């Protein structure tokens, strides 16, 4: 358990992947308050805990008690993410959470990849 203390405010937070993704719970989101959370790491380990991580964001954000907009930026396509988005869309709106879906691509030299732009 984390020692008691005030929340930490940041502009951008990357959520851990692989085995470390299991450590992200509602207490994490209550304590680490970010304008943008990046969910990266398209791997089978994260897929197994992705739903609980996303639900923890909703629960943790609810405890903030402020009207801060939050952007969730997934860097991979996932059935779990799609289902969570559909099932909790109204709750996301109530809490001021926006999930970015990226249909944009960036072309560099011989490589093309999906991307989105985040401004602060």
The answer to whether residue 50 sits within a structural domain is yes
By DSSP bridging, strand 104-108 and strand 97-99 are unpaired
SS3 at position 76: coil
Q: So what's the pLDDT on residue 96?
A: 96
According to the model, what pLDDT value does residue 98 have? 93
Residue 64 lies in a domain: yes
| Among the listed residues 54, 84, 71, 82, the one whose alpha carbon sits nearest the alpha carbon of residue 10 | 71
Distance CA(84)–CA(78), nearest Å, equals 10
Domain count across the chain: 1
The residue range of the domain holding 84 is: 8-114
Mean pLDDT by 10 residues, the chain (120 residues): 80 83 88 92 68 94 90 85 93 94 74 70
Residue 2 falls inside a structural domain: no
Q: What is the pLDDT of residue 39?
A: 87
What is residue 107's predicted lDDT score, i.e. its pLDDT? 83
Q: Are 104 and 73 in contact (CB under 8 A)?
A: no
Does 120 reside within a domain?
no
pLDDT at residue 100, rounded to an integer: 86
Answer yes or no: is 99 within a domain: yes
Asked if the structure places residue 53 within a domain, the reply is yes
Structure tokens that stand for 40 in this block: 């990266």
pLDDT at 11: 95
Residue 1: inside a domain:
no
Q: What is the pLDDT of residue 108?
A: 84
Q: Look at residue 1 in the predicted model and tell me its pLDDT.
A: 56
Residues linked to residue 36 through DSSP beta bridges, in sequence order: 12, 71
């Amino acid at each position: 358990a984390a020692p008691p203390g005030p929340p930490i405010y940041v502009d951008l937070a990357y959520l851990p992947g692989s085995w470390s993704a299991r450590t992200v719970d509602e207490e994490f989101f209550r304590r680490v308050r970010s304008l943008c959370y990046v969910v990266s790491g398209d791997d089978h380990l994260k897929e197994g805990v992705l739903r609980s991580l996303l639900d923890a964001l909703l629960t943790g954000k609810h405890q903030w008690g402020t009207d801060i907009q939050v952007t969730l930026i997934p860097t991979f396509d996932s059935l779990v993410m799609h289902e969570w988005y559909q099932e909790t869309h109204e709750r996301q709106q109530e809490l001021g959470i926006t999930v970015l879906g990226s249909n944009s691509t960036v072309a560099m030299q011989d490589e093309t990849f999906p991307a989105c732009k985040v401004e602060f």
